[in-house]
Structure 1
Amino acid sequence: MSLYQTSPAVAEALAQGRPVVALESTIITHGMPWPQNLEMARTVEQTVRDAGAEPATIAVMDGTLYIGLTDDQLVALAQAQNVAKLSRADLAACMAMGGTGATTVAATMIAAAQAGIAVFATGGIGGVHKGAELSFDISADLPELAQTPVNVVAAGAKAILDIPKTLEVLETQGVPVIAVGQDALPAFWSRESGIKAPLRMDQPAQIAKAFAMRRALGLPGGQLIANPVPEADEIPADVMLPYITQATAEAEAKGITGKSVTPFLLQRIFELTDGRSLKTNIALVLNNARLAAQIAQELSALP
């Protein structure tokens, strides 16, 4: 029995050795309402195609892990209710029980690696939450990057997180963190976090070669490609900080924990910024999709 099903377009691209970019599905089910979520999903997929790669949106539907969705499946997922949010811990359980779930960064990486897809575009990764020294709230995305061989193109870690601690964990886990075109680590909505990135690369070919070299050396895990949001679309860090502080305090006061924290914070920040945060989020996802397609092209061209 196959562990997953690929869409016809993705199966053809993989068989021909053409570049493929994995896409997560939580942005569809947990990121925005219908029908904006469907429009967003279609736009991201088309952005990948326009940049020269085949998109592979990943989700579990009725117990089947799909790598690449048809448009009908995208429509169904975008309208689905009570969709689980899947990470490493619950991906297999959802499949075994015939459930429907959207994949987070960690689960998308697992599925992509199963299919031989080495590049994945997302918005921002999870990481170490503020106050983690008491709550131990650390995203499964970080150890996944340390063990699953996929390039994750993101606008850094989500700015609601403790970015210095997130960077420390990634360093301990041996994950290359590569800022694209600048020395500073981006912070999701903002181009700069005030923290110097461990590595800088300016060209997709450099990123592809670094990943190929890691494989040649037998090193496990992937790479985090920290791609800053376009300057015209960013919200500077000093503007975002008061909103993040207020939303975080409200989450603590309400006793919100675990997987509910990030969706609450993102929704509250959307409200506090009068929707500006979502516009920036969309812009950075599209920007990451373009870069991911370029990296996938460079990888497919390597011997």
Structure 2
Amino acid sequence: MNQYLDIHPEVAQALRDGKAVVALESTIISHGMPWPQNAETAKQVEQIIRDAGAVPATIAIIDGRLKAGLSGDEIDTLAKAGLSVTKCSRRDLPFVVSAGQHGATTVAATMIIAAMAGIKVFATGGIGGVHRGAETSFDISADLQELSQTDVAVVCAGAKSILDLGLTREYLETNGVPVLGYQTNTLPAFYTRESDHSIDYRMETANDVAQFLSAKWGMQLHGGVVVANPIPEEYAMDKAAIDSAVEQALQESVEQGIAGKDSTPFLLKRVAELTGGDSLASNIQLVFNNARLGAQIAIELTQ
């Protein structure tokens, strides 16, 4: 086992017994919403996975230790510390570990730690991607590169709608990352169920996804898989309203010179403000929805 990694006893036992485990990220806890809503939501997502018959493993760094599975107290620690917790992608992990700090994991960092622990399925909100204007800024999320090399399936509601979805699809295709649509023919756009961009293969059941993953990794075709799961219809937002809010938030980010790892948290927070909190409510529901599907896929993968 990796000398820097601690696997929670419940998670370790499940992995030893061949039971289904689903990884969860922690950026949504420290950077996604205020206390105590962040802790309550994180624990609710874990309970949804347990109710579906799998074991949750929230991923984070606590006092410089990589954690695959958190206690309730550790979730509270991250939730209360909020924005003071370092948001960690691949490049940040050595610093946070060597400095003995707390870290909240992005999609990329969660994939890395999940793979270390032997966890194959990860449920989140939306993946990062190619930012709008990347042809001049070169602002491309490290999530995409991680998907090209790390053997973890990421169940998400597509890519965040603040991104350039067309360029994100092109990047994934170039790097050989399959994009599976769960009961959909188009790439979901986070807050909305559809976009103008296609997926690679449509999957009707969790078992279909599990069979795909088994075949890919069984052939030693390394790298992740995007499982795009549209937000439930009753929680989807009006496309015109969300597009307007995103455009305004993007303009404000340019005017304020916000870039890099600060960009996504700023944009999501500003969109939530501009939509009167509706986007945050939708965000929570799509995470719940992805957790349920992630558990189903993980269970099928163990059969």
TM-score range, shorter chain: over 0.9
Partner of 1:234: 236
AA aligned to 2:255 is A
2:261 paired residue among 246, 253, 259: 259
Shift of 1:239: 2.4
AA aligned to 1:161 is L
1:300 paired residue among 292, 299, 302: 302
The whole-number CA distance in structure 2 between the counterparts of 1:254 and 1:75 is 32
Shift of 1:7: 1.1
The whole-number CA distance in structure 1 between the counterparts of 2:131 and 2:269 is 17
TM-score normalised by the chain length of structure 2? 0.98
The whole-number CA distance in structure 2 between the counterparts of 1:275 and 1:80 is 22
- Say which SS state the counterpart of residue 91 (structure 2) adopts: coil
Partner of 2:289: 287
Partner of 1:32: 33
RMSD: 0.9
Shift of 1:8: 1.4
The whole-number CA distance in structure 1 between the counterparts of 2:120 and 2:158 is 18
Shift of 1:238: 2.4
AA aligned to 2:206 is P
Contact 1:187 1:193 in 2 (8 A): yes
Q: 5+ residue gaps in structure 1? A: none
Partner of 1:171: 173
The whole-number CA distance in structure 2 between the counterparts of 1:6 and 1:190 is 35
AA aligned to 1:226 is A
The whole-number CA distance in structure 2 between the counterparts of 1:42 and 1:221 is 29
The whole-number CA distance in structure 2 between the counterparts of 1:196 and 1:166 is 12
The whole-number CA distance in structure 2 between the counterparts of 1:202 and 1:178 is 10
Partner of 2:218: 216
AA aligned to 1:17 is G
Shift of 1:236: 3.0
- Summarize deviations over 1:175-210 as a string: whole Å, max 9, x none: 000111011110000000122212111111111111
Contact 1:60 1:101 in 2 (8 A): yes
- Say which SS state the counterpart of residue 266 (structure 2) adopts: helix
AA aligned to 1:241 is D
Shift of 1:3: 2.2
Partner of 1:135: 137
Query: Identity of paired residues, percent?
Result: 55
After superposition, where does 1:1-303 map in structure 2 within 5 Å?
A: 2-81=3-82, 82-301=84-303
TM-score normalised by the chain length of structure 1? 0.98
- Say which SS state the counterpart of residue 130 (structure 1) adopts: coil
The whole-number CA distance in structure 2 between the counterparts of 1:295 and 1:198 is 18
Contact 1:247 1:269 in 2 (8 A): yes
- Say which SS state the counterpart of residue 2 (structure 1) adopts: coil
Aligned length: 301
- Summarize deviations over 1:209-241 as a string: whole Å, max 9, x none: 111111121111010000000000000322211
- Say which SS state the counterpart of residue 210 (structure 1) adopts: helix
Shift of 1:74: 1.2
Moved over 4 A (4+): none
The whole-number CA distance in structure 2 between the counterparts of 1:171 and 1:147 is 13
The whole-number CA distance in structure 2 between the counterparts of 1:13 and 1:26 is 24
The whole-number CA distance in structure 1 between the counterparts of 2:36 and 2:70 is 17
The whole-number CA distance in structure 1 between the counterparts of 2:129 and 2:231 is 19
The whole-number CA distance in structure 1 between the counterparts of 2:178 and 2:201 is 7
Shift of 1:58: 0.6
Shift of 1:96: 1.3
Q: 5+ residue gaps in structure 2? A: none
AA aligned to 1:117 is I
